[in-house]
């Protein structure tokens, strides 16, 4: 199936109007698309990324399109930096209504060849980064009487693939930390849900593609693992993140939402 060049979206109706949103990993791929989608629907978006330049680029794109956004650097593996990111959003806009924990790394390899620093980095960014993010926004959401946290895991939080033991371990943890937060704060109006994207066309997959025989080979054979027969586009994940962030998803918490072209239906 041909990859669509545009992703259908309903005309903007202010689905997150005036909500203060923080998006990590907003400088690229899925995070950038989520930042755009939230801004298109009226959110004020703090775009944060390890790369300050790409975070500011995303914010500049949003501002140029008439939205409200700021960019800043964050290393989500540092709890102090995550706290400072959340405090910056509160200082600028008074509260945080939506957190999207999207920043992530995928450093593939066979487990017996993976050194300590790669295991540490994967868990520090993908697991601790999401825990730090949730921990930093929860007090503000409790004060405000609620909020929505959207964690970005992966299909590899549900099923593994060759070379992805460490990544899969981290993404499985993302699914479970989501359920933990959902349960502990459900009575206080904080919803926490997790998206498990399939193979999406972003740089995070490039190292994995290399081990599988190259990106071209992966895309030629994508039917064998992603039944829809094409890679997903970042905006196709962002549409779901927007929905979960919005009040339209008011009955959803602790939900694990696969957005994967049928991959986990096999």
Point out the residues that are catalytic: 167
- 47 contributes a contact to ligand ADP by CB under 6 A: no
| 200 lies in the binding site for ligand ADP (CB under 6 A) | yes
**CA distances from residue 103 to 24, 55, 64, 110, 127 in whole angstroms, order as listed:** 5, 12, 24, 23, 10
- Cβ atoms of 1 and 230 within 8 Å: the answer is yes
Tell me, what DSSP letter sits at residue 10? P
Among residue numbers 211 through 230, which ones bind ligand ADP (CB under 6 A)?
none
Sign of the torsion angle spanned by Cα atoms 136, 142, 144, 145: positive
Does 75 bind ligand ADP (CB under 6 A)? Our answer is: yes
Q: Count of H helices and E strands in the chain? A: 9, 7
- Binding segment for ligand ADP (CB under 6 A), chosen from 2-10, 39-47, 71-79, 178-186, is 71-79
Nearer Cβ to ligand ADP (40/49): 49
Rounded CA-CA distance 98/79 in Å is 18
- Shortest Å, Cβ 251 to ligand ADP: 27
- SS3 of 71, please? strand
Report the candidate in 32, 204, 209, 232 with the shortest Cα–Cα distance to residue 106.
204
| Minimum gap (Å) between residue 14 Cβ and ligand ADP | 26
Task: Rule CB under 6 A: choose which of 20, 68, 86, 125 binds ligand ADP.
Answer: 125
Q: What is the number of the residue whose Cβ is closest to ligand ADP?
A: 29
Q: Which stretch binds ligand ADP (CB under 6 A): 12-20, 27-35, 183-191, 249-257?
A: 27-35
Spatial CB neighbours of 218, under 8 Å, sequence gap ≥ 6? 199, 205, 209, 212
Smallest distance from ligand ADP to CB 41, Å: 20
45 binds ligand ADP, rule: CB under 6 A:
no
Which residue number, 45 or 76, has a Cβ lying nearer to ligand ADP?
76
Candidates 183, 245, 217; CA nearest to 22 is: 245
Pick between residue 141 and residue 200 the one whose CB is nearest to ligand ADP.
Answer: 200
Binding stretches for ligand ADP (CB under 6 A): 24-25, 27-31, 49-51, 54, 74-77, 103-105, 125, 200, 202-204
């Amino acid at each position: 199936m041909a990859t669509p060049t545009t992703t259908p979206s309903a005309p903007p109706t202010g689905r997150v109007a005036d909500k203060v949103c923080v998006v990590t990993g907003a400088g690229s791929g899925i995070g950038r698309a989520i930042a755009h989608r939230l801004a298109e629907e009226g959110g004020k978006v703090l775009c944060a990324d390890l790369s300050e330049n790409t975070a500011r680029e995303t914010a500049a794109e949003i501002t140029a399109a008439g939205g409200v956004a700021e960019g800043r650097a964050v290393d989500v593996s540092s709890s102090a930096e995550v706290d400072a990111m959340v405090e910056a959003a509160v200082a600028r806009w008074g509260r945080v209504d939506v957190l999207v924990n999207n920043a992530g790394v995928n450093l593939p390899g066979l487990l017996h060849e993976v050194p300590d620093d790669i295991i540490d980095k994967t868990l520090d960014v993908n697991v601790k980064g999401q825990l730090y993010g949730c921990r930093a926004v929860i007090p503000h959401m409790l004060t405000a009487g609620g909020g929505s946290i959207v964690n970005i895991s992966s299909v590899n939080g549900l099923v593994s693939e060759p070379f992805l033991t460490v990544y899969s371990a981290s993404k499985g943890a993302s699914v479970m930390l989501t359920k933990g937060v959902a349960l502990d704060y459900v009575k206080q109006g904080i919803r926490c849900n997790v998206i498990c994207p399939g193979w999406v066309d972003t740089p995070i997959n490039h190292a994995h593609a290399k081990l599988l025989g190259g990106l071209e080979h992966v895309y030629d054979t994508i039917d064998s693992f992603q039944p829809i027969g094409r890679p997903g586009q970042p905006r196709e994940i962002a549409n779901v993140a927007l929905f979960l962030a919005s009040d339209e998803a008011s009955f959803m918490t602790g939900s694990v939402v696969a957005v994967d072209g049928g991959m986990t239906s096999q």
